[in-house]
Each structure stands twice: as C-alpha cells, then as structure tokens.
Structure 1
C-alpha cells in the first residue's frame, strides 16, 4: 500500500509505503495516516465506479481503509469560506 499526498504543481508525493500485513510496516502506515489527518488533510481511496468513471471513497480512520486498497491519497481541505 502507498500513501500519497497531492501537492499542487508537483503531482503525487509518496509519504509512506508498506505491507499492512507486516507489523512494522503497518505501524509506519498508521503513524503517517495520523500525521496527515492531524495536519488537516483529507484522505481518500481511489475506486473505479461500476460505470467506469473514477471515484474516491473518503476515509477518516486507518481502520476504514478497505483491505483491497493499494493506495490512499491525502489532499488539503478547501480553504476560504
């Protein structure tokens, strides 16, 4: 699994990578997940919709990541009002 962060002008930046089935990797992934959410980022798991269109499933907790997910993308919340 990869954790990626969207950075304007740079595309996707790899934050963490590992196998959730390996304890040390999972601990690193959990720490990276929490760090991004604590920094105000949102997290989403990319999905292909039934109609072929790309979609994303928002996740708020590491345990909410679907077991078959290969990546989680973090992106900044919209600013302004």
Structure 2
C-alpha cells in the first residue's frame, strides 16, 4: 500500500492533467449531441446509404446513433 500511495503522490500532476483533458474532451463531444440529434433524420438517411456489411463491421446501427448513449459510443469508438 505504501508503494501505491508513493506512486499516486509522484504522478499527481500528470494524473490531474490527463483527467482534466479527458473530461474536456467528453464535454466537447457531448456538447455536439443536441445539434446532431436535431438532424437525426438526415443522418439516418445518410447511414442507410452505407452497405449493411460496413455498418456491421464498425458496429454502427442507424437506430442507436441518435440516442445519447449511442452517440457517446460512436464518438469514442
């Protein structure tokens, strides 16, 4: 346990920088969701133009991409 606490203290600054950076990235992508969901019908039409095999290969379903969780999983694929 002492080694764990030592490492935690030693890398506190870099851990905070990484945490702040990743939180900022999530906030940036999630701030795009309202405009993305507003144009969901157009995006569905675009996605239906892709071959089914391609959509299955990248794990993208037309129905789930317009939900918040689906958008999150797509943004951080």
Q: TM-score with structure 1 length normalisation?
A: 0.35
Q: Larger radius of gyration, structure 1 or 2?
A: 2
Answer 1 or 2: which has greater strand percent: 1
Q: TM-score with structure 2 length normalisation?
A: 0.36
Larger RCO (CA under 8 A, 6+ residues apart):
1
Answer 1 or 2: which has greater helix percent: 2
